[in-house]
């Protein structure tokens, strides 16, 4: 497995909306937190079901060797959230 993104996301790229600083950059430019949360839950639930359905197809050796790696976490993050967030799967430093 390869990491989906080693790029570090800047604070400006993560929070581009000056009048809504707590809202993450998203593909739909949604600035209403409740609406963004609802869409995130819906999209990620669909992707989670797809991820769970794909697990039986994974090689057991790969699963054990890579399960707790940064590569795996970034790939899962990208799969779950890339429909909504352009930075999904990238490193976001805590502030």
pLDDT digits (tens, 9 = 90+) for 42-65: 999 999 999 888 776 666 555 566
**pLDDT band, residue 69 (cuts 50/70/90):** confident
Residue with tokens 């699963």: 63
pLDDT digits (tens, 9 = 90+) for 11-38: 888 889 988 888 999 999 999 999 999 9
DSSP state at residue 56: G
Distance CA 41, CA 6 (A): 25
pLDDT of residue 54: 79
Residue 85 has pLDDT above 80, yes or no: yes
Alpha-carbon distance values, 86 to 16, 55, 68, 72, 78 (Å): 12, 25, 24, 18, 9
Classified as helix, coil or strand, 2 is coil
pLDDT of residue 27: 96
């Amino acid at each position: 497995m390869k990491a989906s993104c080693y790029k570090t996301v800047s604070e400006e790229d993560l929070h581009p909306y000056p009048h809504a600083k707590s809202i993450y950059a998203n593909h739909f430019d949604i600035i209403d937190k409740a609406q963004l949360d609802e869409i995130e839950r819906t999209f990620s639930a669909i992707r989670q079901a797809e991820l769970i359905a794909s697990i039986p197809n994974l090689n057991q050796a790969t699963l054990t060797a890579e399960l707790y790696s940064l590569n795996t976490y970034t790939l899962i993050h990208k799969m779950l959230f890339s429909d909504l967030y352009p930075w999904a799967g990238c490193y976001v430093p805590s502030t």
